[in-house]
Amino acid sequence: MDTIYLKVFQKSEIITTSKVQIKDVSKITATTIELKNKINELIVLEIKEQKKAKYLITIIDIIKVIQRECPNVVIVPLGEVDTLVEYSPTPLKHSKLFEFFKVILVCFIVFAGSSVAIIAYQVDTAFAKTLDLISKVFTGEAGSNPLWITIPYAIGMPIGIIVFFNHVGTQKITSDPTPIEIEINKYRAEVNTTIIDSLNNIKRKEE
């Protein structure tokens, strides 16, 4: 008896084609190449409405399709139990000019917001007075805006930000993912999980 191992993707994007095959939403390995190719080509979902939409395919749906065509195989599921399918009847078009202005706008908002946050933090914590106190402790003289502290601080802050975010321009300092990449991946995973749960609830009501 043949055995196949089935790993379902959490999310899949389907463009133009309305017939979703098993290979579009999962990765499989089988005891023979012929069996693998046959299962990969099986249709697990046929989309009838030609409009952008999200669909849910469960591991049970995939197993049913495989068992119907290959009743004598042993199926070993791995990983996710649901996959989110984002369908678009037409290829997605990206405007480079629009993307450029969007990046500029986001950069401006982030720069303005972070600047206000840093200034507000320093005012709330009386940071200027703290620097004056440090200057008095080490030099014995009280004075406002001690340059021997403020200049290294002004240089060290951007260096610290660059090191923390692990990025200089378009280049990474190390191969580790940046904090922004981690947060984006966490956000995407949570969005996908929320959509899958919502579609699961709709599916339960329809059954």
Summarised one tens digit per residue, pLDDT across range 103-159 is 899 889 988 888 888 888 878 878 778 878 888 877 777 666 777 888 888 888 888
The pLDDT of residue 207 is 63
Residue ranges of the chain with pLDDT lower than 70?
142-144, 207
**Cβ partners under 8 Å of residue 173, min gap 6:** 162, 163, 166, 167
Q: Is 140 left (phi over 0), alpha (psi -120 to 50) or beta?
A: left
Cβ(86)–Cβ(12) under 8 Å?
yes
Which distant-in-sequence residues (6+ apart) come within 8 Å of 180 by Cβ? 165, 167
Query: From CA 71, how far away is CA 50, in angstroms rounded?
Result: 33
pLDDT at position 39 is 92
* Nearest residue to 31 (alpha-carbon basis) of 72, 60, 79: 72
- pLDDT of the residue at 66: 92
**Rounded to two decimals, what is the model's pTM?**
0.68
What is the reported pLDDT for 20?
93
Helix, strand, coil % over all residues of the chain, rounded to 5: 55, 20, 25
Task: Calculate what percentage of the chain has a pLDDT beyond 90.
Answer: 27
The residues facing 45 across adjacent strands are 20
Pairwise CA distance, residues 178 & 161, whole Å: 12
Under DSSP, the state recorded for 204 is H
